[in-house]
Amino acid sequence: MCFAGNTDLGLSSYSTRMIASVQPSFYIREIPIYGDLILSPMDGFSDQPFRVLCREHGSAMSYTEFTNIDAIQHDAWKALRQLRHASSEKPQFSMQIFGSDVDRFVEAALKCEALGASIVDVNMGCSVACVSSRGAGAGLLREPQKIAEIFRRVSNALHIPVTGKIRLGWDDGSLNYMEVAQAIEDNGGQAVAIHGRTKAQLYKGEARWAPIAEVKRAVKIPVIGNGDVRTVADIARIKAETGCDAVMIGRAAIGNPWIFSQLDRHEVTLDDTLALMRRHLQLMLEFYDEHGLVLFRKHAVKYLLGHPYSATLRNQLMTCERVEEFLALLDDYSQRREYYAAEAA
Ligand SMILES: Cc1cc2nc3c(=O)[nH]c(=O)nc-3n(C[C@H](O)[C@H](O)[C@H](O)COP(=O)(O)O)c2cc1C
């Protein structure tokens, strides 16, 4: 049986030194946030192993994958596993929850606090139909009054800060990000992360950053900008264009946690990539037992993207079922690199 609690995987001494040597970039209420790059909550990706790796590489905070308030109430094992965390992630550690019923939000948030959350984040951005059409995730954006009530009730009930993650609105005909951000702030919310798309856009088109700048000018709580930050240059650009307090990075961090150290994918050597893959796999096996290998595959293919002649290896890894074989394939690829380089020349 899984339980939510502290499992200490430890941050590297590099991260510890880094944290000790800098001033907080901003605060979420009383919680100091050291640095202004943050791994996005991502269902299926931002689990404890990946969060810990990203923190080691410079991500300033941890958000869990979004977790259903009803599943939390029912102690569903998968929900409790999603909420597990390393003590080293605290106090910059947020449990993200989603749902639509206000009373249940309060109950689930109280449970998150009891399970060790330092922050509770309300998901108002999930665009998946089975979530948003039921009034949860981005579905909440259609009910700003309810958002106000959720923040008022949850922040009154909890000792820890409550934050929110939103999109720009349901669709282009209902862009209510200003009203929603204001409702969050006016009702006790302590930070707002904004993905610059509407629910109707899903992940299509370009994320719009101008609305993030608008919200930043209007509210006093920290504003975290998000959407289509793919490179180190994008980090500088979204900061300059929005004035946001921090930048949240999702898809571009998969296979490249070094983006939190301001390194683009092509700047990372194959040796460093393979070393991190081995460590990530080890953390996955510790966290998920033998199922960790299967769950690691989707990360593995992303780590290898762009590395020469890695297509065959990626295919082999996707079907590989034994850890020893998986590691041997990585070793073999590493040893053959000179041969590949000679062939390419
Ligand atoms: C696979 C995947 C899972 C996601 N799961 C969540 C989630 O659990 N909670 C959430 O707030 N956003 C979730 N998102 C949205 C991201 O947090 C982020 O807002 C979005 O991907 C835009 O940022 P990006 O362009 O940096 O990826 C998810 C996105 C992806 C691609």
Does 126 qualify as catalytic in the annotation?
A: yes
pLDDT for res 96: 98
| Average pLDDT of the chain to the nearest whole number | 93
Judged against a pLDDT cut of 50, whether residue 134 lies above it is answered with yes
Class of domain 13-265: alpha beta
pLDDT for res 339: 78
Pocket test for ligand 1, best of 37, 40, 212, 248 (most atoms within 8 A of CB): 40
Pocket test for ligand 1, best of 38, 39, 43 (most atoms within 8 A of CB): 43
Q: Assign residue 233 a region (left: φ > 0; alpha: ψ between -120 and 50; beta: otherwise).
A: alpha
Q: For residue 296, which of 310, 319, 280 has the smallest C-alpha distance?
A: 280
Do 164 and 151 meet the contact criterion of CB atoms below 8 Å apart? Answer: yes
Burial of 192 (0-12, 13-18, 19+ CB in 10 A): buried
CA dihedral 236, 237, 238, 240 (to 10 degrees): 80
127 lines ligand 1 (CB under 6 A): no
pLDDT for res 85: 98
What digits encode the pLDDT tens for the residues 285-313? 999 999 999 999 999 999 999 998 899 99
What digits encode the pLDDT tens for the residues 182-232? 999 999 999 999 999 999 999 999 999 999 999 999 999 999 999 999 999
Phi, psi of 203 (to 5 degrees): -115, 15
Q: For residue 250, which of 222, 267, 265, 228 has the smallest C-alpha distance?
A: 228
pLDDT for res 6: 38
The Cβ-side half-sphere exposure at 201, using a 13 Å CA radius, reads: 20
Distance (Å, whole) CA 290 – CA 297: 13
What digits encode the pLDDT tens for the residues 26-64? 999 999 999 999 999 999 999 999 999 999 999 999 999
Judged against a pLDDT cut of 50, whether residue 322 lies above it is answered with yes
User: Per the structure block, which two tokens stand in for 282?
Assistant: 């080890």
Q: Give, using CA atoms, the residue closest to atom 14 of ligand 1.
A: 42
Map out the domains of the chain as residue ranges: 13-265, 269-344
pLDDT for res 148: 98
Identify residue 178 by its one-letter amino acid code. M
What digits encode the pLDDT tens for the residues 223-281? 999 999 999 999 999 999 999 999 999 999 999 999 999 999 999 999 999 999 999 99
Single out the catalytic residue among 126, 130, 244, 320: 126
Q: For residue 163, which of 328, 26, 339, 20 has the smallest C-alpha distance?
A: 26
Distance (Å, whole) CA 102 – CA 95: 17
Distance (Å, whole) CA 139 – CA 135: 4
First to last CA, the chain: 54
The whole model's pTM is what? 0.94
What digits encode the pLDDT tens for the residues 78-124? 999 999 999 999 999 999 999 999 999 999 999 999 999 999 999 99
Q: How confident is the model at residue 337 (pLDDT cuts 50, 70, 90)?
A: confident
